Amino acid sequence: MAEMGSKGVTAGKIASNVQKKLTRAQEKVLQKLGKADETKDEQFEQCVQNFNKQLTEGTRLQKDLRTYLASVKAMHEASKKLNECLQEVYEPDWPGRDEANKIAENNDLLWMDYHQKLVDQALLTMDTYLGQFPDIKSRIAKRGRKLVDYDSARHHYESLQTAKKKDEAKIAKPVSLLEKAAPQWCQGKLQAHLVAQTNLLRNQAEEELIKAQKVFEEMNVDLQEELPSLWNSRVGFYVNTFQSIAGLEENFHKEMSKLNQNLNDVLVSLEKQHGSNTFTVKAQPSDNAPAKGNKSPSPPDGSPAATPEIRVNHEPEPAGGATPGATLPKSPSQSSLPAVVVETFPATVNGTVEGSSGAGRLDLPPGFMFKVQAQHDYTATDTDELQLKAGDVVLVIPFQNPEEQDEGWLMGVKESDWNQHKELEKCRGVFPENFTERVP
């Protein structure tokens, strides 16, 4: 019996909830169709807009803060690995080993302390701040439902009030068959019954209206006070949060700077004591290294075009400080003594060979300077570059604007394209000089 009673209560509650949902749905449809007015509160609607904006901003800040913490954690791990590498390469007999290890330990502790303080003073505060939004959001939604219930009860009561006069006229003048057929003495009882029934419905509607209005107003008053207060609290929260982050980061970098300075002092001391064994790493020069933008194409290692072309002839070195180029008689003993004579090409200015004689030839492009042949394939990476295959012959021409020429790059047109089109605008382009070799 107890179970049946419990099930009955549950079923009754479910039926009541279903009826409420149907009533609300009907009321919303009537309001959207304009057949029922809707209670409006522009001030509250503005508070709701501010609430949604505040929630969106807070959620984004929480997400970015978590990303920042993840980055700090990643930097901690990277710094730890770097220090471990230093400890491994730092040989036991080198001075300052203990100091370097101690610095590495302090570095690790400093990262851990920084991360934990960010969690305590920023992330947890952020989580607490956002923790109040779900409950308020739920109450705003509930207020909206209670407002629909209030409007529905109000409309129902108003409809009964409007029909009151019609009901009274209907009772004063019986029109139903039952009333017409009833004796005169019975018609009074029927009229009294209808009046009592109408009054009962009206009283019930009024009670429901008063109840719905009370529930709605209680929720509305609370939210009207909380939402503006919550909106105004965001300023202080943002100030405290970012001040905490800025302060923690400032202190972290100060302490980290001290550790880095200490490590630098240890390494300087090591360098001084082992200065004679120091190997200086110097950049290797490359006469033909291209410098076009960020590109640095280079041919395969060991190829002839990868190094400047220098021809070496063994000639006897002049004796007694003779000037270069003077002819001296060779003795048998001198004939085997090598001297280096470097054969060079004509000088160029911005890619133009001084004294070039090909500028006026009709079968060559205007400004022609010399020919080169591709020693390796080159894949163009820009629209202004030539696509080269090993063996292609290129007719080198000057740049229209010498300032546009980058070191290690030449302007030219493939000989096959020039013979076919005779149009520079369509065929010319730049190419890396170290992929080619000059030909007669």
- State residue 330's pLDDT score: 41
Q: Closest Cα partner for 167 from 187, 193, 137?
A: 193
388 part of a folded domain: yes
CATH number of the CATH domain containing 58: 1.20.1270.60
pLDDT of 145 higher than 50: yes
Lowest mean pLDDT among 156-160, 376-380, 384-388: 156-160
Domain end marker among 257, 273, 289: 273
130 part of a folded domain: yes
280 part of a folded domain: no
Tell me the C-alpha to C-alpha distance, in Å, between residue 326 and each of 70, 315, 323, 334, 418: 75, 12, 6, 15, 45
Tens digits of per-residue pLDDT, 352-366? 444 444 444 558 899
Q: Which among 3-7, 41-45, 432-436 has the top mean pLDDT?
A: 432-436
Q: How many domains does the chain have?
A: 2
- State residue 161's pLDDT score: 73
Do 257 and 406 belong together in one domain? no
Under 8 Å between Cβ of 299 and 306: yes
Under 8 Å between Cβ of 227 and 48: yes
Tens digits of per-residue pLDDT, 271-315? 888 765 544 444 444 444 455 555 556 666 555 444 444 344 444
Domain end marker among 273, 294, 314: 273
Tens digits of per-residue pLDDT, 222-252? 998 999 999 999 999 999 999 999 999 999 9
Tens digits of per-residue pLDDT, 406-420? 888 999 999 999 998
CATH number of the CATH domain containing 391: 2.30.30.40
Pairing, β 370-374 against β 393-397: antiparallel
Please state, in angstroms and rounded to a whole number, the distance separating the CA atoms of residues 396 and 394. 6
Pairing, β 429-432 against β 436-439: unpaired
Under 8 Å between Cβ of 362 and 380: no
Residue appearing with tokens 């029109």: 175
Please state, in angstroms and rounded to a whole number, the distance separating the CA atoms of residues 438 and 343. 14
Pairing, β 311-314 against β 340-343: antiparallel
pLDDT of 208 higher than 50: yes
- For residue 311, give the 3-state DSSP assignment: strand
14 part of a folded domain: no
- State residue 350's pLDDT score: 43
Tell me the C-alpha to C-alpha distance, in Å, between residue 264 and each of 68, 96, 259, 408, 422: 28, 11, 9, 39, 64
pLDDT of 190 higher than 70: no
- State residue 376's pLDDT score: 92
Please state, in angstroms and rounded to a whole number, the distance separating the CA atoms of residues 114 and 97. 26
434 part of a folded domain: yes
42 part of a folded domain: yes
Q: How many CB atoms lie within 10 A of CB 429?
A: 21
> What mean pLDDT, rounded, does the chain reach?
77
The domain of 85 spans 24-273
328 part of a folded domain: no
Please state, in angstroms and rounded to a whole number, the distance separating the CA atoms of residues 24 and 157. 16
Give the pLDDT mean for 197-209: 76
